[in-house]
A and B are shown apart, each in its own frame.
Chain A
C-alpha cells in the first residue's frame, strides 16, 4: 500500500448527482479496469473507495455520485485541491509488469483490488452497467479494444438525467444500448430487457451496478461472466475484514479478493 498525493484537474457534474473528477499525480499510473482507489476526504474519518473509469499516464478519471456528506464535500472541491489516495504498490495480474530499467523513476501506482479480466474474452464482450456501474466499464472497453476484441455496452438508468458514459463509450466505437426505468431514453425497463431487444453477440460478459440488476443478468445470461461487487469498506486494503462476503469459494474480501468475481462465485 502507498499513500500518494493527487491534484484535482477538474471536478464537474455530468449527470444528476454524478460527478467526473480527473486527478493527476506525480508518478506513472498503472490501473486496470475494475480496480479502485481509496480517497481521503478531509474531516471525514474513513476513505471513499471509488472505481477507476479511465487511467491516464499520470492520473485517473473517476465518476462518483453524491450519496452522503463525504461525497457532497468532494463535489465542492475545486481544481488544484490536493487529495491523498491509497493505492497499491504491487501488481497482481502481470498486465503491467514493472520495468526494471526504470528503477530511478517514481514507482508506479497500481489500483486496489482485483480487476476485470479482458484477456479471458475470446472475441466479443458484453459490458452491462447499472447507473454509475458504467464507470469501470469504460476502461475495460479500452482494454478490450486494445487487445483486438469487440465490445457492446448495455447501460441501465432510472431516468434520462442520470445517463453518463454512453457518449464516451460510443466515441470509442462501442455500440451502446440504453434502458431507462421510465422509458425516457432507449428501452423502457431493465438492462435485461435491453439485452433481449438488442441480441448482441458475446462470449463473455462483465457487469457492474446494483446487486439485483447483476443477479438478474447472471441468471439470464448463459455465457461466462464477471461481476463487480460493492460493499461498505473499512481499510480498503484487505486487513480489516470489514467488507467480507460469503462466496462459493468461502469468505472473500470485496476490497482485496474482489471487487471483481466470477459470476459462479457469487451467492445471490
Chain B
C-alpha cells in the first residue's frame, strides 16, 4: 500500500487527519488522555463554554433512542476564564493538533466577550461559535435559526479575533443555506454543521418525559443522512470550508462526508458508546482509502457535484 496522505488544510492550519471529536462528546480532552494517544486526532473540539460557569440542566440528561441518543446536558462548563487559563493550556501540554474552542453565549455581547478571551489564549487554534445549542432556553439555538442573528454574532466575534472562526449551525431550520451564507457574508472563516436535532422521548410507564428538561438534542447514526445532505448543500453554496458533523461512526462515513464537501469531520455521539471511536476511525482510513483508490484525502473534498 502506498503511503496515504490523511492530512487536510483547514483555513491554512494543517491537520494530520480530518478526524475531530465533536464538542460536548469529548470533555476538554484531558478526560480521555489515559485512554489513547490524543495526538492521533487531527483536532479536538472542546466542550461548549460560556462566560460564567454553568451547572447545566437537571438529570436525567440522557435518553437512549434507536440508532442514537438525546442529550440535555445544557452547557455545563467551568466558564471562559477556566478554559483559557486551565483547560486549553493543560491540553496543549500533551497535544500537538488543532485545539478548537467551542464558544457559546446568551447575547451577542457574551459571544464577543468569550471570543476575545479565547483569542488571547495562544493554546487555542480555532474558534467554533455555537449558535445552535438546543438545550438552553435563552440564546443558544435562537441565534442560529435566523440569518440576521447568526450574521450579527459572526460580525461581533470576527471583530475581536484573528483566529479562524467557524460558526456551528443548527439543523432545526428550514433553509440551512440561507443561514450559512449569512455567516459567510458576515466574515465567518468556516461552518460546522450539524448540531443536534431537537428531540424527545417519553417513559410510557411513568407517563413522563425521559429527559428532565423534556426535550434535548438528538444525535447518532440516525441523523447521518440529514447531516450529509446539509454538508453537501452548504459546501456547494459557500466558498468557506465546512466541518461536517452528525452521525459519523466509521471511516466510511468520514469519506462520505468529505465527498459531500467537508474539509474535516467531527465525530460526536459515537464517542459516548465507544470512547476509542476516533482513533479507530483514523486507523481504518488508510486501508479504506487504498480500497477506494484515494491517495490523499484533500483530493476528495467536495468531489461529488
Enumerate chain A interface residues (CB-CB to B < 8 A): 1-3, 40, 44-47, 70, 86, 89-90, 231-235, 237-246, 251, 256
Enumerate chain B interface residues (CB-CB to A < 8 A): 24-27, 31-32, 34-35, 47, 55-56, 59-69, 71, 73, 76, 210, 220, 271-276
Closest chain A residue to B276 by CB distance? A3
Interface contact A241-B34, CB-CB below 8 Å: no
Whether A1 touches B56, Cβ cut-off 8 Å, given contacts A45-B69, A232-B62, A240-B24, is: no
Interface contact A234-B62, CB-CB below 8 Å: yes
Bound: A197/B271 CA distance, A: 49
Interface contact A231-B27, CB-CB below 8 Å: no
* Cβ distance A232 to chain B, nearest Cβ, rounded Å: 4
For this complex, 13 residue pairs linking A to B, each with C-beta atoms less than 8 Å apart, are: A1-B34, A45-B66, A45-B220, A232-B61, A235-B273, A235-B275, A237-B32, A239-B27, A239-B275, A240-B272, A244-B56, A244-B59, A251-B56
Chain A residues closer than 8 Å to B274, beta-carbon distance: 3
* Cβ distance B251 to chain A, nearest Cβ, rounded Å: 18
Chain B residues closer than 8 Å to A1, beta-carbon distance: 32, 34-35, 275-276
Chain B residues closer than 8 Å to A45, beta-carbon distance: 64-69, 220, 273
* Cβ distance A192 to chain B, nearest Cβ, rounded Å: 25
Closest chain A residue to B59 by CB distance? A231
Chain A residues closer than 8 Å to B34, beta-carbon distance: 1, 89-90
Bound: A161/B179 CA distance, A: 59
| Top 4 A-B residue pairs of the complex, sorted by shortest distance between their CB atoms | A239-B27, A239-B31, A1-B35, A232-B60
Interface contact B273-A244, CB-CB below 8 Å: no
Query: B73: which of A231, A238, A241, A246 is its contact (CB, 8 Å)?
Result: A241
Interface contact B69-A46, CB-CB below 8 Å: yes
Bound: A242/B26 CA distance, A: 12
Chain B residues closer than 8 Å to A256, beta-carbon distance: 31
Whether A89 touches B275, Cβ cut-off 8 Å, given contacts A239-B27, A242-B62, is: no
Interface contact B71-A242, CB-CB below 8 Å: yes
Chain A residues closer than 8 Å to B210, beta-carbon distance: 232
Bound: A2/B36 CA distance, A: 9
Query: B26: which of A3, A89, A239 is its contact (CB, 8 Å)?
Result: A239
* Cβ distance B138 to chain A, nearest Cβ, rounded Å: 20
* Cβ distance A268 to chain B, nearest Cβ, rounded Å: 15
Query: A235: which of B65, B68, B76, B271 is its contact (CB, 8 Å)?
Result: B271
Interface contact A40-B27, CB-CB below 8 Å: no
Chain B residues closer than 8 Å to A240, beta-carbon distance: 24-25, 27, 62, 71, 73, 271-272
Bound: A231/B271 CA distance, A: 19
Closest chain B residue to A46 by CB distance? B64
Query: B76: which of A86, A90, A251 is its contact (CB, 8 Å)?
Result: A251
Closest chain B residue to A40 by CB distance? B273
Whether A242 touches B64, Cβ cut-off 8 Å, given contacts A86-B275, A237-B275, is: no
Interface contact B272-A46, CB-CB below 8 Å: yes
Chain B residues closer than 8 Å to A47, beta-carbon distance: 273
Closest chain A residue to B212 by CB distance? A232
Bound: A90/B31 CA distance, A: 13
Closest chain B residue to A238 by CB distance? B31
Interface contact A234-B32, CB-CB below 8 Å: no
* Cβ distance A48 to chain B, nearest Cβ, rounded Å: 10
Bound: A245/B226 CA distance, A: 33
Query: A232: which of B31, B63, B273 is its contact (CB, 8 Å)?
Result: B63
Interface centre among A40, A47, A240 (most CB of B within 10 A): A240
Chain A residues closer than 8 Å to B69, beta-carbon distance: 45-46, 234
